[in-house]
Structure 1
Amino acid sequence: MQKGVASRIDIPASVWDSDDTREILRKRDFAGLFAIAVKYGASQVRIGAVAELGQPAVNAILHGKRSIAELHVIERVATGFGLPDHARMLLGLAPQDIASPTGDHNDAHEEQTTELIGRLDFAATIDPITVMILRTDTNNLRYLDRKLGGPAIADKMRAQIAQIERAHRHAIRHGIRTQLAHLLAETASLAGWQAINTLALNDAWTHYEHAKAAAYEAEDPSLLAYVSGEQAYVLTELGRPAEATALLQHVHAQHRDHVPRRLRTWLSAAEADAAAILGDETTCRAALDQAAALLPEGDSDPDMPYLFINAHHVARWRGNCLVRFGDPDTADDLRSALAGMDGTHIRAESGVRCDLGHALLAAGDPEAAQPHIHRAQQLATMTGSRRQRRRIDELSKAVNRALGR
């Protein structure tokens, strides 16, 4: 008897034919695959048994903290879950029925042909107006993200990415495909930033890898530089600021002659951010000075709707960085940034108030810091930013200690 067959998890055959499951298999999304098994009654211990993994490993995979890359482990999962050949092939495995690569699955060859024709016909209906509507949807999601936070629009984001990917994957006309690639890169990058703020860092890295691939296809150096720069924040959150700083410096050096000044401002400010966490004050100050020198007039550029940065944002960045070095001017920078906010950047306001509270605490005024920390907690909770709550909670404890509570 084949190893693992006796304890195979019973999952209905129809599950492997759904579009959602096919996408999970194509992406090797083992968290999604394990969730399917759980849905049909398998415990984490049972999954671990058929895949020859421990329960802690299964739990980590389900929560996006670990993935599976080893081919022999993927093979065990496929066998233990009873994947039919057409599902195995989507996962990147060879079919078990070599004589019929897709297996005897209700004339699967014909079904695949019909499915492909349908997807190509669907993609052929995408025209510039449809792309414009999809772009408007992404811009609306970008606005909602600033106001409400990623968790509030998670379902909308997944649907938007799936719709753009479906159209892009089967688009044939070069002009439409390029536009869809550009939009996919923007949308995946937004999803990456949302994942960072919920500390789903593996998801964030994956989103940025998809965004970079799409940006390459779109042949847009500005977009490629932006998504590559944002990916550096995953490294920062993983406690690897030196690598984040090096990545940002490389991206800036590689693209400095091909991207607008506003994007170079953002790249310099991001480099300062990583250098501040690293404790490199010299690099941090030099990058902040460069950001201020490069900043053009206005708030944004029409060709880069994903980037919104002005003098108030640079002040916010300066305050966020220099508070780590006890700079006495930090509080003034942060008050200036707070005064210039327009009320739509809720998550950003939470960060500014957190930094201002930190600066006031460092200046020996915990009473003045307390209301800013409290408001930052409220805003971070509203937007579901676990990333901000982690730091805010630490500052709140420090304020309470300073006040003798």
Structure 2
Amino acid sequence: MLLRRADILGVPAMSPTSLKTKLSRWENGREAVSEPYQRLFRDVYGRTNEELGFPPERVDEGTDELRARLAAARTVDTETVSAFRQQLDYARHVDRKFGGVTLLDQLRGNAEHIQGRLGFSTLRGQREALATVLTEVSALAGWEALDRNAIRQAWDHHETAKAAAREAGSPTLLAHATAQQAFILIEIQETEMAVSQLAEARELAERSAPPLLRAWLAAAHGEGLSVAGHGDDALRAFDTADALLPPDPVDPALPFLFLGGVHLDRWRGSALSKLGDPEAIDQIGNTLPRLPPDFVRARTGMLVDLAFAHAAAGDRDTALDHARQARRLATQIKSDRQLRRLGRLILPAGATNAT
């Protein structure tokens, strides 16, 4: 923890091995804690020098710390931002394939690191570049937190993403973070509030956002409407998404969006399942074999949707089979969100759960 804070604050620190030795000497009283490390202990524990048993702080401590943070922020260059983005791209790949069980703490640390640089950057272009990466990192961290059922943490990450998008001057990123945050409202059953927020996100993107994002936002709105039981409006939103989807649904500026190929089809199938529409069975069943193998999280959600669709149709055995497959995958990727959904599944013919 001390070394992470040192990196964020731009405070020079010794190696982990040397620090372990120093900690032992400090704890045994054989050596006084030096001033740079007093600063780190204050930052980590949120206590004053007096509360920690250190000598009183120097009067100019605030000035020294500010200068250190400004100096650390000045080290940010194009290569630094590129390194942050490479870490983010790798995290997205791992998330799709293995879930976020190993990612959430890493993403939180990256977000803190970027915020530490952004908060003390004085260069205009540098601030926008850092804010753009912070938006994407925080949005992914928020999605991971939601999947792990850390609801408040998910909300706070999205608030950070929205604030960073405003700092970056990006209505596109702001619209995406606003829409994604609405799924937290769906998770806590504030569905009408979620529908309103999704509509707001579409308005944010109406003028300047690329067609791919506008299509994604329409589909997201469609899912929210389906959860709220507004079937006709939901299907119209998906028709709009289909009409907006560009022929080449890959945008290097929007690496977090997947809507081409099977993805819009599976999303529509999910909405049909939530509406209790029997067409969901064919829609999802025909799409599932075409899903790329590395989209394990998406596959898990589709199997859950299929379990609900077959249960609604009265097919206990098929619903139970899909629920068991979904539970295995959800357990594998530690998706508490999908496991919670499965816990709400009511099977026909007297079955009570999907175990």
In the superposition, the TM-score normalised over structure 2's length comes to 0.82
Q: Which residue of 1 aligns with 2:30?
A: none
Letter in 1 for 2:48: P
CA–CA separation in structure 2 for the residues paired with 1:112 and 1:345: 48
Matched-pair contact (CA < 8 Å) for 1:370–1:399: no
The change in CA–CA distance for 1:252 and 1:222 in structure 2 (over 3 A counts) is same
Matched, 1:401 2:347: no
Q: State the alpha-carbon separation in 2 of the partners of residues 210 and 404 from structure 1.
A: 38
User: Aligned equivalents of 1:24 and 1:267: distance in 2?
Assistant: 41
The answer for the alignment partner of 1:226 in structure 2 is 176
Give matches, 1:128-277, under 5 Å.
128-277=78-227
| Mapped contact 1:295–1:311 kept (Cα < 8 A) | no
Cα distance in 2 for partners of 1:306, 1:293 equals 20
* Correspondence 1:22 to 2:46: no
Q: Distance in 1 between matches of 2:252 and 2:348?
A: 42
Cα deviation, 1:125-175, whole Å, max 9, x if unaligned, reads 111011101110011111112222222222321221122112212222211
Q: In structure 2, what is the Cα distance between the partners aligned to 1:373 and 1:400?
A: 16
- What is the letter of the counterpart of residue 84 of structure 1? T
Distance 1:404 1:23, change over 3 A: closer
What 5-or-longer segments of structure 2 have no aligned partner? 1-26, 28-32
Q: In 1, Cα distance between the equivalents of 2:142 and 2:80?
A: 24
Distance 1:184 1:371, change over 3 A: same
Moved more, 319-328 or 180-189: 319-328
Shift of 1:24: 7.9
Runs (4+) of structure 1 exceeding 4 A deviation are 16-21, 402-405
CA contact (8 A) 2:343 2:353 kept: no
Q: How far 1:20 moved relative to its partner?
A: 7.9
Give the stretch that moved more between structures: 304-313 or 172-181: 304-313
Counterpart Cα distance in 2 of 1:86 and 1:244: 47
The correspondence of residues 248-397 of structure 1 with structure 2, limited to 5 A, is: 248-395=198-345
CA RMSD between the two structures: 2.8
Counterpart residue identity of residue 106, structure 1: E
- Aligned-partner Cα distance in 2 for 1:400–1:344: 35
Q: 1:111 to 1:291 in 2, by over 3 A?
A: same
- Residue 402 of structure 1: CA displacement? 4.9
State the one-letter code of the partner of 2:320.
Q
Residue identity in the other structure for 1:343: P
Distance 1:357 1:204, change over 3 A: same
> Structure 1 residue 86: deviation in Å?
10
Q: Using a 3 Å threshold, how does the CA distance of structure 1 residues 112 and 400 change in structure 2: closer, same or farther?
A: farther
Deviation at 1:315, TM superposition (A): 1.2
SS of aligned partner of 1:152: coil
Residues 1:105 and 2:56 are matched in the alignment: yes
Greater Cα shift, 135-144 or 335-344: 335-344
**How many Å separate the matches in 2 of 1:381 and 1:356?**
18
- Structure 1: distance between partners of 2:246 and 2:38: 52
Distance 2:45 2:235 in 1: 44
**Where does residue 48 of structure 2 map in the other structure?**
84
Q: Is the 8 A contact 1:366 1:403 kept in 2?
A: no
Percent identity over the alignment is: 34
Aligned residue type for 1:401: G
Separation (CA, whole Å) in 2 of partners of 1:126 and 1:209? 24
Cα distance change of structure 1 residues 393 and 20 upon mapping to structure 2, 3 Å threshold: farther
Residues 156-212 of structure 1 deviation map (CA, whole Å, 9 limit, x = unaligned): 212211221122122222111110000001100111111111221111111111111
CA separation of 1:335/1:213 partners in 2, compared to 1, >3 Å: closer, same or farther? same
> Would the alpha carbon gap of residues 251 and 118 (structure 1) be closer, same or farther in structure 2, given more than 3 Å must change?
same
Q: 1:164 to 1:152 in 2, by over 3 A?
A: same
- Partners in 2 of 1:345 and 1:143 — Cα distance? 9
How many Å separate the matches in 1 of 2:125 and 2:321?
Answer: 52
CA contact (8 A) 2:147 2:336 kept: yes
Of 288-297 and 174-183, the range deviating more from structure 2: 288-297
Retained in 2: the 8 A contact 1:196–1:204? yes
Q: Which runs of 5+ in 1 are unaligned?
A: 1-11, 26-82, 88-103
Distance in 2 (CA, whole Å) between partners of 1:252 and 1:20 is: 45
- The one-character-per-residue Cα deviations of 1:261-307 (angstroms, maximum 9, x if unpaired) are 11111111111111111111122111111111111234431001122
Q: Indicate how the Cα distance of structure 1 residues 404 and 199 shifts in structure 2: closer, same or farther if over 3 A, else same.
A: closer
How has the CA–CA distance of structure 1 residues 106 and 358 changed in structure 2, closer, same or farther, with 3 Å as cutoff?
Answer: closer
C-alpha separation in 1, matches of 2:318 and 2:281: 11
Count of aligned pairs: 320
